Amino acid sequence: MTASSTFGLSSEARNLHWLLSNLVDEVPGLLSVAVVSSDGLLLLSSDPERNVGPTAPSVRQDGPKGSSADLATIVSGLASLTQGAAKLMDGGGVKQTMIAMESGSVFVMAISDGSLLGVHGSPDCDMSVVAYHMALFVGRAGHVLTPELRSELRKSLESAL
């Protein structure tokens, strides 16, 4: 994330951008990270072109499958499926979902208000390190992800497109 990607945002939004950047920088093997609202809308992305402000050039690159936009869709669907399964099994709330594949992993973790953190990791990422850093992110971001901040982040993404 560049300074231009947070220009004009509130301090809470800038802090959330910083937390996401820190997650991406600190954890080896992360391919894509997305924060998704409870209704499935992308709020924050590790793809720099998804977070740029309106003054930045509007060059859109086609990302690989698993980019943050694709990840947001996957995260929303997985959350719906796992929440339905937990309800049918009287399992309580879903805290984390992990899918291990031959060529990578997908992690989904609930944030306090129904928002979700989704991570697409490379095949060689350390799953325990990813889960630990995701829990740190959720713990730090959960209390600041208010309805007002979600609205600000969504408007910021829409204006960048």
Residue 63 makes CB contacts below 8 A (sequence gap 6+) with 47, 69, 70
Instruction: Kindly report, residue by residue over 63-86, the tens digit of the pLDDT.
Output: 445 577 789 999 999 999 999 999
Six-digit token pair at 106?
A: 């997908």
Phi then psi dihedrals of residue 69, to 5 deg = -65, -45
Q: What is the pTM of this model?
A: 0.82
- Cβ distance 6 to 14 under 8 Å? yes
Residue 128 CA, distance from chain mean position: 18
Six-digit token pair at 70?
A: 């694709």
Instruction: Kindly report, residue by residue over 87-128, the tens digit of the pLDDT.
Output: 999 999 898 999 999 999 999 999 977 899 999 999 999 999
In this prediction, residue 138 carries a pLDDT of 94
Six-digit token pair at 63?
A: 């990302």
Phi then psi dihedrals of residue 101, to 5 deg = -120, 170
